[in-house]
Each structure stands twice: as C-alpha cells, then as structure tokens.
Structure 1
Amino acid sequence: MRAQLARVDAVLVQALIAAALSFAHIHDVATAAGQDGWKAWAYPVSVDLLLVAAWRRLRSGSGKGAAWCWFVIALAASLGANVATAGLLDLADVPAWLRILVAGWPAVAFLGGTLLAHSAPGASLAAVADEIEDQVDQEDEPEPAREPSTPVLPAIDAPPERAPVAAPVVAVPNVPVPAALVAHARKVAAEHHTRTGAPIDTPTLRARLGVPAPMAEAVAAQL
C-alpha cells in the first residue's frame, strides 16, 4: 500500500513540476510577443484547457480524430514555448511570425474548445429517439383478445336478442418526451420558420428529427 502511494505521489509531483514549468514558459513567450498584464497569464491557461478538453474527448471514445488533432495543436504550442525559452530564441527581439502566432492563438483555442465541447450532438439525440421508439412499440403491441364464453340457453322457440357488445376503448399511451429532444425540436422549428416564414408541420418535424409518428406528435404538442 505504501509503495503504491509512493508511486502515485511521485507521478503527481512530476506532473505538477512539468505543468508549472510549461505554464511559466508560455507566459514568458506571450510577454515577449507583446501580450502584457493579465493577457500573458491567460495564454498558458488557454493552452492547458485545450489539452484537457482534447484528452477528455480521447478518453470518452467519440470523435477521436478531432480530439487527436486539437491535442497535437495544444501540445505543439506548449512544446514550442518550452523550446523557445531554452535560449534558441531571442526574447528581446521576437520575430514577426511568432507575434502573429501568439496574437492568433485565442481564436484557434476558442474554435478547438467549441468543437470539442459541442460536436456530434445528433448521435445522443438519435440514441434517445431509438430508445423511445422501442418503448413506444412495446406499449403499442395489442394484447390478445379473449373470446367471450357463450352461455348455454334453454331450448325455446325464440331466443331473446342480446344487446350488442360495445367495442373496448383502447387508451392511447402517453409518449414520454425527453427535454433534450424538445429543446432540439424548438431549434429546428425556429430555423424552419425563419427560412420559410411558416410554422413547421408534424410530418416535416418528424422527418427532421428522425423519430416515429407518435413521438413527433408528442413533441409538436409541446412546441
């Protein structure tokens, strides 16, 4: 147990030292490129956050291509700052191309973070829709009808007429609609109204969402 704790402590201390050194190097490069004050401290935070976001996407198992791309970009920015402060670059006379890279980094980091955080929402919505469709299909399966037993009547000349049996009323099951699907449907309806000038109808909404008809009608009722 102590040996395991010692290994964990050593790895944690090494990670903290590496993070602190990389943080300081990126700050020094940003300062040398003309980003003074709080802006110079924001650059290493931006690089580290992009690394963490890309690593979390890699661990989640979805969109690994984009995650590897942004992980390499953030890692190159961190390694580049470490190499630049090792004496290979005169920080008193930073070249113009480095100033351009430092000035353009916030836009690159914002794009990468946004894509990593909000990419591929349709996959989760499609999974929710498939699960709801399976549930609706199970609820819609009719139960086998039971044949009424015929009573034995005494032999008489004219049997009395029996009143017609009313058909049983089948209750329509309530279709559960997840809040995420309703929010997505509102965006689709707003986009359709902006493009065509008319409210979206139920068949179009069903085609856009890719859900069964009962689910589309339930979603349309909540718009």
Structure 2
Amino acid sequence: MGALVVAGVAAYASYVHQREFALQGGADRTSATLWPLSVDGLLLLATVGVLKPSRGSDRRTRSVVWLAFLLGIAVSLAANIAAAPALAWKPVLVAGWPPVALLLAVELLAHRSGDDIGGDAADESEDEVVDDNPLLARARQLDTRHRELYQRPVSAESLRKELRVGAGRSRRLVAVVRASSNGSGRGRMPTQNAI
C-alpha cells in the first residue's frame, strides 16, 4: 500500500512538471496534457519489461526494452529538471525527485508482486514445473554449471536472479532439479547430465 501511495504522489508531481515543460516547449494544451503520459508511460512499460522479461524474448527484444527504459529515464528526468524554476540544487532536487521516486516505487511493486505470485501462479504445482516448462531446462543448465564451478548445487536465490522468476517458482525449480539429479525424479524430463 505504501509503494502505491508513493507511486501515485510521484506520478502526479512528475506529470505536473512534464506538462509545464511541454507548455514551455511550445506544445498546445492538449498535447502538453498528453505528453507526460507518453514519457512516463513508456518508462513504466519498460520497467515492467526489464523486471519481468517475457518467456522466449530474444536479444533484440531485450535491447529494445532496455533502450526504452534508459530513454524513458533520461527524458523524464530532463523534462522534470527543466521545469524547475531555477537551476539551483533545491529546485532541481524538488523537480528531479518525482521520476526517480516513481521508478523505484514501480520496481518495488513489480518485485513484490513477482514474489507474491511466485513467477506465474501461486498455486502452481510441482507437476506444472516439471511438465512443459521452458525454465526447467535452463535451471538444469545453471545447476550443472554451478556444480562444475562450486562443487555444490545451485541455490534457489541464484536461480531466481538468473531466471528472473519469483522466489516461490525458483524454490520449486530447485526442488525438481535436485530430485532429478539425485535420481529420484519422475523421469518425465531426464537430466541433461547425470551428476
């Protein structure tokens, strides 16, 4: 709830600053009213794309998401700071803070919702992790590499970071990978390398 309040306040302040910037830049009232939505809207979409990449997204798609993210930050900060009444540290801080706060609040919300739903669905059973899950093959590869490098199985936290999934899903993936590497798996998807 707190992150939503922060996001709402920051979004409003950022909107007001960017609208003022657009008016100063010669936009008519309608365009100036819509312009901040295009900037912060793009930034919000890109933030979600960075935090929760879609399955099967290729390198080009990830590059576009990151480009949108970086451009969104740059334009939002520049527009907010340009709307400051003076280029002194206090007005610049007041004008520049809202897009930063908005970005961080959205990231906190995205991380929290990712942990709450465990990547996809909170009620996902272990069978669903094993059957028809493209993340399982990647988890097994990471486990194999981790065992070769560190002589121990990969942790759920390492999988969560590498695969960008929620904590619940990473724990289920680790359980399936460890069970199959110990020879106690169901045999539906055999391990690539028996360890």
TM bucket, shorter chain: 0.3 to 0.5
More RCO (CA 8 Å, sep 6+): 2
**Structure of greater Rg:** 1
The alignment's TM-score, normalised by the length of structure 2, stands at 0.39
The alignment's TM-score, normalised by the length of structure 1, stands at 0.34
